[in-house]
Chains A and B, each alone.
Chain A
Amino acid sequence: MTFAAAAGTVAHTTTTTAAEAQGFLSPTGVEIAFLLVGLVTFGAAVVTVTTRQLVHAALWLVVALGGLAVEYLLLTAEFIAWVQVLIYVGSVVVLLLFGLMLTRAPIGRSPDADSGNRRVALAVAVAAAVALVWVVVDAFRTTWIDLDGTPAGSTDVTGASLFQHWVLPFEALSVLLLAALVGAIVLSRRANTAAAAREATTRETATGAANGPPSGSASQPTPGPASGPARASTARRRDAEGNR
């Protein structure tokens, strides 16, 4: 690819000199801001994966994702930053909180938030972090991003590139979103129809207990005459809880 070769040569010639002029020991203001926000983001991410309170994990995830939006702003990618705020902080975290609520997550500290292989996971993560940071720092130690001038990711630039060069993937992505929507509806509808069928059979069992065993309950343990209606009513109440 000629583009990649041009990228390599041009980047090498221009950025090495700039980066040698700018050492790591005299950071610019943008770098200091990036470092501070990055520390906050990383700390929030660590708290997200280690806290034992499930709702707090979702709320710390908001801090981490918001910090990443600020990092995008510092990298002059404005459009991605606002998309990040809108989609992640606005909708994904709300979805996660809804999921926590619907699975009846405990409000306080839950002792079994972490599984038994915590130490192995920590070892794997630390090893991966050391390897990645070592390789990446070794590769891009002298590379310098020039952040002056017009922003690299304003809405104008991003929109032009997205609708000039990336129209076909964009449309394919819309089809994927539609498929995900339909899939989510199908996944939650199947449970609803199953619940409706169970409701119908429990009602049939409750009414048919007086007349004798119903036709479809051969494998089902037939409830006693006293426990039949009570069980049906508890099942109905549980369904009402689940559908709320």
Chain B
Amino acid sequence: MPEQVLLEIGLALAIVAFAGILAARFRISIVPLLILAGMVVGPHAPVIGILDFRFIKSAPLIDFMGRVGILFLLFSLGLEFSVGRLLKAGRSILVGGSIYMAINFTLGMVLPIIWGWPLRETLVVAGLISISSSAIIAKVLVDLKRTARPETEMILGLMLFQDVFVAVYLSIISGLVLTGSASPPSVLKSTSLALGFMLGLILAGRKLAPLINRLFNVPSDEVFMLMVFAFLTLVAGFSETIHVAEAIGALLVGLILAETDHLDRIEHIVVPFRDFFGALFFFSFGLSIDPLTLGGAVGPVLVAVAATLTGNFLAGIIAGRMAGYSYRGCTNIGLTITPRGEFSIILANLAKTGGLLPVLQPFAALYVLLMAILGPLLTKESKWIYNQLAHLFGWPAWKEINKPDRTI
């Protein structure tokens, strides 16, 4: 009955909103709470009166809205993404970013290989472990009032570097995972198709930028929005038909539109949609996970969390020192880059679509849950952590600042 579906969606939104309130109250990221909320409800949950917490009838709809959420998340990433900006950020970011990705990606590859997971699963886990959540990190920096600190430039530069990595990696992975075959020729074919599609669209976008500029030059905000979203959904949908992840299609549309004159206007309209559907994406991901399956993932997740924290911290120290930051600044870099979020979940979702080992979803859920909570917490306590390490390694102490004497 349609009325029931509407009520269920309303209930889901109420839960999502409640998670938001809790997140704001306890000053933590909303992402882990949304996943947690999604896991708590679901087919195993009770029905209380008219409130059906099982979400059976509305599950396909919530799932679909979550898919739309991915589109918007990647679309806004594409809008933000800029190779020109990255090059401008300078050599220290390129070097630091390479070190950072190399350390984390190697760790991400080694662990699943030790566990004996197959190749495609290994690659998904490697991506899942090495890609930080730029959304959580930006928020943490703002919340902790660290935007003015010198090393914040480096942290955000690393995120910029990582975005480029995400774009390339996602296209490779989607080629690998979505074709459903592991034979080298077909993998090569699908991966090159994905990369070719990407390059083709980017080139076409550049060539057609003046045309797109004119086409989207409509005074009505309403029509403008409809045109942008139609473009987004069409390209994403088309990507899917040629076995390129729809997320990549969305990313590409973002990249193309970022080159046009309408960037500011688009960024303005996309934010509320990204936040709304993005929240439902995390919720729907949680909903798709049966909490009882989490048990099997606990061991690997704990190892992965420990490895990620160590790897990120080391990478932060090395990259930071090379760029000439103080040990204090480097500690902040190494701790701030630890949260994981949207990309890890997107990869896990991709793995599900491609029919990879089902353990990947609870693994990703638990991993993100821990990292999204631990990361910001460690970032907040960076001063204490630094002082402990300073003791150990003989770094200069983080002295308490003498407040200037205000009395005259």
Is B truly associated with A?
Answer: no
- Please list the residues of chain A having a beta carbon within 8 angstroms of any beta carbon in chain B: none
